[in-house]
Structure 1
Amino acid sequence: MTASGPVSTALDRFRSSGSSWLRLPFFSGDAADAVCARVDRRIAEGSSVLPSPDTVFRALTLTPLEAVKAVILGQDPYPTPGDANGLAFSYVGPRRLPASLKVILAELPGAPTSGDLTPWARRGVLLLNSALTVEAGKSGAHLRYGWSALTDQAVKAVSDRSEPAVFLLWGAQARSRAALIDRARCGVVETGHPSPLNRHRDFSGTRPFDEANAWLVSRGATPVDWSLG
């Protein structure tokens, strides 16, 4: 399909990259084209879509299928312009860190102050949102656009590999995908969502990064370096 908008153009570029993720049905069929065309229509109608088109597929670009050691699933990008960079929970905005990300980083030694999670992605942590796009000021605006098929297929593809990988599932939406994971091959670390609005407060103190690394080591794999420079 010929690109007719910025997100469709980004899809064409991603397809030309030869990424191992292109074997997913989402990309080999018409699903990706349909979702990107729908997002491009919103842009043509005047909506401000985030993140920038060149970072929409960044999670898959930085973390090839064969390199995945850990998976963290988010909902959708931050809806404030300049905050998101295509990776779940990753924050590059000019203001103080979002409350959920502060809770996440507090589980790491030294509680890093950088919210850019790009180093994790480069070390094999797939930081994938359920929707790769959002509209400015409208959290969840594209959750029903069809992106979720990509997330489901990516989870299944990682689970089906022979190499060990661990899934960090935070909150009900992420945990709903646990059924797609083969626990005989993969580790699963489930907790509540790190949002301060989570009334159960069942994330803080769970040490999910330590638990994920302990599982990897138990399978003879190198643990993830969770540091942020």
Structure 2
Amino acid sequence: MQINIPQSWHEHLNDEFEKPYFRKLTQFVDDERQKHEVFPPEEDVFSAFQHAPYDNVNVFLLGQDPYHDNNQAHGLCFSVRPGIKPPPSLVNMFKELREDQGCRIPNIGYLVPWADQGILMLNAVLTVRAHQANSHKNHGWETFTDHVIKVVNAKESPVVFVLWGGYAQKKKALIDTTRHTIIESAHPSPLSARNGFFGSRPFSKINQALQAAGKAEIDWQIPDL
């Protein structure tokens, strides 16, 4: 497994890559790729870090598991490649964004413009076997991404952590709320969006928290392709 992350992350993560659990995880993912199709492609596994260098991270949006259908996952949680139909959770995010910020719904689900503004868009598990949701959970990724939460939490500068759904909200214990802001609600999936995601106005709350910290607000409008 190739680990392609920007220099700014190296000092925070290099020790982790040398630990036995991570070596075992690397072996597992490499073995899976030999036997099965695995998403996202190897060069995209760490793309959340490439788009949001450590020093730039002002928002941390935590997802759970990569999309597991063809050509969807490219290493940013909730985002899909250009030309791929936005999945239901992302459709609901765009609906809420329209209500919250007045943004028009774009014709793509490619969220790289958000990441490039300092949003670390990281799933808790970074790989998945094709068409088998959660097939790579409990093999070490969670240990790694919990460590990422801890190193972002260690930043002196305030960060907005966005936790949608019960799975993400279990990570609250890793976050120092005296320095950082947590924005939480139901998950945008069709199963739960009507039970607390719709109407939660997370996008304006993120911008309010950034503004209070003296930081630039996010331009949420995804350009059409």
- TM normalised by structure 2 equals 0.90
Which amino acid in structure 1 is aligned with residue 116 of structure 2? R
- Aligned mates of 1:117, 1:134 — CA distance in 2: 20
- Residues 1:201 and 2:195 aligned together: yes
Q: Does the aligned pair in 2 maintain the 1:84–1:93 contact within 8 Å?
A: no
Q: Could you say which residue in structure 1 is the equivalent of 2:31?
A: 41
19 and 219 in structure 1: CA distance in 2 versus 1, 3 angstrom threshold? closer
Q: Corresponding residue for 1:67?
A: 56
Q: Displacement, 1:195?
A: 0.5
Q: Distance in 2 between matches of 1:27 and 1:227?
A: 36
Q: Which residue in 2 is equivalent to 1:86?
A: 75
Does the 8 A contact of 2:12 with 2:151 survive in 1? no
- Quick one: distance in 2 between partners of 1:21 and 1:106? 37
Shift of 1:228: 1.0
Structure 1 position 216 matched with structure 2 position 222: no
Matched residue type, 1:40 = D
Q: Which residue of 2 aligns with 1:122?
A: 116
Q: Deviations over 1:94-123 (max 9, x none)?
A: 453211101111222223332001111111
What's the % identity of the aligned pairs? 35
The whole-number CA distance in structure 2 between the counterparts of 1:207 and 1:191 is 9
Aligned position for 2:159:
165
Q: Gapped runs of 5+ residues in structure 2? A: 98-102
Deviation for aligned residue 1:184: 1.0
Change (3 A) 1:214 1:226: same
| TM-score relative to the length of structure 1 | 0.89
Q: What is the distance in 2 between the residues matched to 1:213 and 1:95?
A: 28
How far the C-alpha of 1:91 sits from its partner, in A, is 1.0
Aligned partners of 2:8 and 2:55 also within 8 Å: no
Cα offset, 1:32, TM superposition: 2.8
1:55 to 33, 38, 44: 44
Q: Which runs of 5+ in 1 are unaligned?
A: 1-7
Amino acid at match of 1:183: T
Q: Which moved more, 1:193-202 or 1:140-149?
A: 193-202
- Identify which of 94, 104, 109 aligns with 2:93: 104
- Deviation string for 1:42-68 (max 9, x for gaps)? 222x21111100001111121111110
Give, in whole Å, the separation in 1 of the partners of 2:204 and 2:192: 22
One-letter code aligned to 2:88: A
C-alpha contact (below 8 Å) 1:82/1:93 kept by paired residues:
no
Q: Higher relative CO (CA 8 A, sep ≥ 6), structure 1 or 2?
A: 2
Change (3 A) 1:21 1:112: farther
Q: Deviations for 1:126-184, whole angstroms, at most 9, x for unmatched residues?
A: 00001110011101000111101121111111111111210110001111101111111
Partner of 2:22: 32
Alignment check: 8 A CA contact 1:51 1:81 kept: no
